[in-house]
Structure 1
Amino acid sequence: MKFGFLSGCLQNMTLEEKMAYAHKVGFTTLDVSCWPKENSRDYSGSDIDVENLTDENVEKIKGYQKKYNLEFASLAYYDNMLHPDPDVRKKYADHLKAVIVAAGRLGTPLVGCFIGKDQTKTISENFDEFEAIFTDFVSFAEQNHVKLMIENCPMPGWQEDGLPGTISYSPELWDEMFKRIPSSSFGLNLDPSHLHWLHIDYLQCLRDYKDRIFHIDAKDVIVDEHKFHYYGIFGKKLNRVHEEDLGFWTPVIPGLGDINWSQFYNVMKEINYKGDFSIEHEDKRFADNNTDVKKGLEFAYNHLNPIIHEFK
């Protein structure tokens, strides 16, 4: 199994420097952050300038892959594709298509994105817009020999009240997604941590959606059940410290949270999962600088690598 991490967690490093570091630790793949050069998103990165990618750049990157024995599991660009402002939505759509083209040129099989949500419209209206927009995205991906995958984060920071800012975070919504776009080139980047704090059975999701799971994020979470019962299912509403502060869950490095990764891996084997496995580092305790980020990545690597290689 190819094992890697999402590259955006390391800041102020070139793509080659990140690849050299990944190879040194023992990672065999990367999810490459491909946000626009100018953006203000947290946990984002722009390790490939997809909008200005030249043939020379492509050959140089392929040379790095060979030099460091690394494949790219996916190119990653996660923004609100149903943004209510049509100008912003077009900008996001144009960039996503540039990421898809870049993935095709690099031979990278997957592009990861969000669906998002237009907060001014009903859920039914959002799904109608999703169907129109993503039918085009998926067709465009197929033309470039790429598959499109959706990560299941609710994005509560995209609404002032902390309610879900996407329409793609639960099995109910996945069923509607795949009913409207049944293409085998459209699937999931499954993140069990979000399912856990939403109190959704992530092991059952692995089993039920095994044919739609293209990629798995290794991210952990601590759920404080006492605070959950205090704030309720909609989360904290007053005195929030940051936009995603719902009061009862905290993202952490794999091995420091609630997910039983040995159990999780056993179900991955049960469903004969053949995709890549990738750490998404959002643990604020290991985020002050790249030295701390690397400590977090290496802790997660040392916890997960023996499990996914069955203690060999």
Structure 2
Amino acid sequence: MKFGFLTGCLKNMTLEEKMEYAHKVGFTALDISCWPKQNSRDFSGSDIDVENLTDKDVETLKAAQKKYNISFSSLAYYDNMLDPNPDTRKKFSNHLVAVIKAASRLGTPLVGCFVGKDQTKSLTENFDEYGKIFTKYVKLAEDSNVKLMIENCPMPGWQEDGLPATISYSPELWDEMFRRIPSKSIGLNFDPSHLDWLHIDYLQALRDYKDRIFHIDAKDMIVDENKFSYYGIYGKKLNRTQPEDLGFWTPVIPGLGDINWSQFYDVMKEIGFDGCFSIEHEDRRFAANNAEVEKGLEYSFNHLNPIIHDFVEK
């Protein structure tokens, strides 16, 4: 099994420098952040300029992968593909198409994205839109020998009131996604941390959707049950410190939160998962600069690597 991290957490480094760093630590894969060069998203990055990717770029990247023994587990681009503004949606769509085509050229098997939501329409109307536009993306992916995967984050930061801004965050919604588009070329980038704060049994979900889980994000979460009881299931509404501040949960690096990764890995083995296990670093305590980000990545590497290589005593 490949073990890596999402590259956008490291800033002002070339992708080759990130590959060199990953190899030095012991990682064997990278989930490549591929947002547009000009964007304002938090926790994003643009390590490959997919819209202007040349044959020479592809050759250079493949040579660096070979040099550092690093696989690209996925090209990552997460935006609201159902954005209500038609111009914004077209821009996002054009970029996702470029990411899929770049993945094909690089021999990268997966492209990660969100579904999103048009907040001006009903849930049924959103799924109708999803069916229309994602059928085209999935067809392009199939023709390109690539699979699409949806991360299960509800993106509360995209709505002023902190309510879900995607239609793809729970098992109920996954069932509808896969009913609408039954192709085996669309699945999940499974992130247990979001299921944890939503109070969904992430171990059972891991079992139930084993055939649709293409990639797993290793991200941890601290859930404060006392604050959950105070704010309630919809989360904090007043005096939020940042867009995703719902008051009762905090994203942290793996090993410093609530998830029992040894138990989680036992279920990964149980279902026969053989994809990539990839750290998604969104811990604000280790984000001031690259040295702090690396400290967080290496802490998580040292916590998870013995578990996924069965070096711990059971």
Matched, 1:205 2:194: no
What CA distance in whole angstroms lies between the structure 2 residues aligned with 1:192 and 1:45?
A: 22
Matched, 1:262 2:230: no
What CA distance in whole angstroms lies between the structure 2 residues aligned with 1:111 and 1:243?
A: 26
| SS of alignment partner, residue 74 of structure 1 | strand
Aligned to 2:41: 41
Aligned to 2:243: 243
What CA distance in whole angstroms lies between the structure 2 residues aligned with 1:207 and 1:240?
A: 35
Aligned to 1:31: 31
What CA distance in whole angstroms lies between the structure 1 residues aligned with 2:306 and 2:243?
A: 35
| SS of alignment partner, residue 210 of structure 2 | coil
What CA distance in whole angstroms lies between the structure 2 residues aligned with 1:37 and 1:303?
A: 33
Output the amino acid matched with 1:280.
E
| TM-score after normalising by structure 2 | 0.99
What CA distance in whole angstroms lies between the structure 2 residues aligned with 1:8 and 1:239?
A: 28
Aligned to 2:134: 134
Matched, 1:234 2:247: no
Matched, 1:153 2:153: yes
Provide, for residues 182-232 of structure 1, a one-character-per-residue CA deviation record: whole Å limited to 9, x for no partner.
000000000000000000000000100000000000000000000000000
What CA distance in whole angstroms lies between the structure 2 residues aligned with 1:292 and 1:243?
A: 23
| SS of alignment partner, residue 103 of structure 1 | helix
What CA distance in whole angstroms lies between the structure 2 residues aligned with 1:168 and 1:211?
A: 17
What CA distance in whole angstroms lies between the structure 1 residues aligned with 2:64 and 2:302?
A: 25
What CA distance in whole angstroms lies between the structure 2 residues aligned with 1:285 and 1:58?
A: 35
| SS of alignment partner, residue 273 of structure 1 | coil
Output the amino acid matched with 2:229.
H
Aligned to 1:119: 119
Mapping for residues 263-302 of structure 1, pairs under 5 Å: 263-302=263-302
| SS of alignment partner, residue 13 of structure 2 | coil
What CA distance in whole angstroms lies between the structure 2 residues aligned with 1:45 and 1:141?
A: 22
| SS of alignment partner, residue 162 of structure 1 | coil
| TM-score after normalising by structure 1 | 1.00
What CA distance in whole angstroms lies between the structure 2 residues aligned with 1:97 and 1:145?
A: 13
Output the amino acid matched with 1:174.
W
Aligned to 2:100: 100
Output the amino acid matched with 2:270.
E
What CA distance in whole angstroms lies between the structure 1 residues aligned with 2:73 and 2:243?
A: 30
Provide, for residues 97-118 of structure 1, a one-character-per-residue CA deviation record: whole Å limited to 9, x for no partner.
0000000000000000000000
What CA distance in whole angstroms lies between the structure 1 residues aligned with 2:64 and 2:37?
A: 21
What CA distance in whole angstroms lies between the structure 1 residues aligned with 2:75 and 2:188?
A: 14
Aligned to 2:309: 309
Provide, for residues 7-26 of structure 1, a one-character-per-residue CA deviation record: whole Å limited to 9, x for no partner.
00000000000000000000
Matched, 1:6 2:22: no
Structure 1 residue 37 displacement after superposition? 0.1
Aligned to 1:18: 18
Aligned to 1:67: 67
Structure 1 residue 307 displacement after superposition? 0.0
Structure 1 residue 274 displacement after superposition? 1.0
Provide, for residues 113-171 of structure 1, a one-character-per-residue CA deviation record: whole Å limited to 9, x for no partner.
00000000000000000000000000011111100000000000111000000000000
What CA distance in whole angstroms lies between the structure 2 residues aligned with 1:169 and 1:12?
A: 32
Structure 1 residue 298 displacement after superposition? 0.1
What CA distance in whole angstroms lies between the structure 1 residues aligned with 2:274 and 2:243?
A: 35
Structure 1 residue 246 displacement after superposition? 0.2
| SS of alignment partner, residue 272 of structure 1 | coil
What CA distance in whole angstroms lies between the structure 2 residues aligned with 1:17 and 1:42?
A: 21
Aligned to 2:85: 85
After the TM superposition, which segments of 4 or more aligned residues of structure 1 sit over 4 Å from their partners? none
Which residues of structure 2 form unaligned runs of 5+?
Answer: none
Output the amino acid matched with 2:311.
F
What CA distance in whole angstroms lies between the structure 1 residues aligned with 2:231 and 2:148?
A: 35
What CA distance in whole angstroms lies between the structure 1 residues aligned with 2:236 and 2:303?
A: 32
Output the amino acid matched with 1:73.
S
| SS of alignment partner, residue 211 of structure 1 | helix
Provide, for residues 58-110 of structure 1, a one-character-per-residue CA deviation record: whole Å limited to 9, x for no partner.
00000000000000000000000000000000000000000000000000000
Output the amino acid matched with 1:193.
S
